[in-house]
Every structure is written in C-alpha cells, then in structure tokens.
C-alpha cells in the first residue's frame, strides 16, 4: 500500500516521507512530473500526494494524464498555489483533496488516512487471521489481545500478508509492496523480515499464527487448526 509523493523540494520531501513512514505508511518519492508520470504508468500505488509546480511536467498535467488513463487512484494535491482558480482546476481534473502550503503534518496525515479509508469503503474493516487482527483505520496489529510491536518494514510485510491471508504471496510481490524503487535493498531482504515476524508470532499464549514458506510460490499467513 505504497504512497507516491511527488515533490521537488528535497528537504520538504524528506520531512513528509519520514512523517508518513513513522505512521507506517510506505512512501516512494518522485522529484519531477515526468518521473511521476512514468511511475504511475508502471507501478501500483494506494494514493498520490502531488505538488503542482514541478520541473519537466506540471502537476496538473500529471493529474490530467493519470485520469485520462482511467485511473481512480486517490490524489491529494499539495501546493503553494492555493488560489481559488488553481483549486477549482485541480478538483475539476480529478483531484480528491487539496491542501495548501504551509500546512501542519497532523492535518496531512489525517487527510491521507481519510482518503485511503474512503478508497477502501467508508466502513472500518478489521482483518483477522486466527489471534492476529489488523484495524485498517488505525493501522494497528493486535495479537492475542495485545498490540503487536513492529518496525515499519515488518509492519509493511505483515500488512501485505494479512490482506491475503490464506493465499500465497510471492517474494517478488512482497518486495514490490514494501520497498521503493530508490531503496538500496536486495529482494532477499524479505527473508530477514519474514524471520523476524515468525519470532514475534511464535508466542504460545497468543494462539498459533504462522508464516509458511511454499516453495516456488512464496509465503502464506495462516492459523492452522489445533492438533
């Protein structure tokens, strides 16, 4: 469930990325409109945070091309161009929300979560696999009735698995969902996070939830029947 952040101001991009990652929202960044347009052609994202004043291609053109391809991905326009005409044009082109700079991080996070929640349906959903549950609104995992403490990467891997509980997820799919294109990571890093998650799920008092390796297919999150 990656977010694409399109912002050409490097310091602001790092600031927003860190805040969203701290909120367990994986982020990939593009520094110009042409790169953003190319990524939106080839990659899947849950949401786009889009600046308007961008090098190589204006943000409104990125938005126009995205909607012309029939994409319904939520778009939050984030820009210093806060005039009424810019807002109206952005919304008419298919933006879902508009936040003018300067802004508070708390408001940005709230708007992002609201758009993600709206794109999945207005009702809160809790995903379960045995004693493991995931609240899609708060984005918290609970295991055996207690909060499950996870690093951002562990959280991202487990979120992909619980969305597909009972079905095999390939290592390649996990890597694409968890790591950005600019991350210096090897696909085998997924095995490290699977190992760490298995240790955290191996709690006798929490019920039995396991991550099974299916050779040639990937990983399977399941709650086997007690013997």
Residues of the chain with CATH 3.40.50.2300: 3-119
pLDDT score at 34: 93
Residue 154 CA neighbour count, 13 Å, CB half: 17
Q: What is the pLDDT of residues 127-139, one digit of tens each?
A: 889 889 988 767 7
> What's the fold here for domain 3-119?
Rossmann fold (3.40.50)
The H or E element containing residue 61 is helix 59-68
Tens digits of per-residue pLDDT, 150-167? 888 898 899 889 988 889
| Domain covering 126-222 assigned CATH 1.10.10.10 in the classification | yes
Residue with tokens 């991550």: 211
Q: Render pLDDT for 23-62 as a digit per residue (tens, 0 to 9).
A: 778 888 999 999 999 999 888 888 999 988 899 998 889 9
> Which distant-in-sequence residues (6+ apart) come within 8 Å of 147 by Cβ?
140, 141
User: Cis (ω within 30 of 0) for the bond into 102?
Assistant: yes
Alpha helices in 69-217 (DSSP H): 84-92, 105-119, 152-163, 171-178, 189-201
Domain span(s) for CATH 1.10.10.10 in the chain: 126-222
DSSP 13-24: HHHHHHHHHHTT
């Amino acid at each position: 469930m990656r977010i694409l952040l399109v912002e050409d101001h490097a310091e602001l991009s790092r600031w927003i990325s860190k805040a969203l990652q701290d909120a367990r929202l994986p982020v990939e960044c593009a520094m110009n409109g042409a790169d953003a347009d190319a990524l939106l052609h080839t990659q899947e994202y849950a949401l786009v945070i889009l600046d308007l004043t961008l090098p190589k291609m204006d943000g409104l053109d990125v938005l126009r091309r995205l909607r012309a391809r029939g994409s319904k991905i939520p778009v939050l326009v984030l820009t210093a161009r806060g005039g009424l005409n810019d807002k109206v044009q952005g919304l008419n082109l298919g933006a879902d929300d508009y936040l003018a700079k300067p802004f508070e991080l708390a408001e940005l996070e709230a708007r992002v979560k609201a758009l993600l929640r709206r794109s999945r349906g207005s009702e809160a959903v809790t995903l379960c696999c045995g004693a493991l549950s995931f609240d899609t609104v708060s984005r918290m995992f609970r295991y055996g009735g207690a909060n499950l403490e996870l690093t951002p990467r562990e959280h991202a891997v487990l979120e992909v698995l619980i969305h597909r509980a009972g079905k095999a997820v390939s290592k390649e799919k996990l890597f694409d969902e968890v790591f950005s294109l600019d991350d210096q990571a090897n696909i085998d890093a997924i095995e490290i996070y699977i190992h760490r998650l298995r240790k955290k799920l191996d709690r006798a008092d929490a019920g039995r939830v396991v991550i099974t390796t299916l050779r040639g297919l990937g990983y399977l999150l399941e709650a086997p029947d007690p013997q």
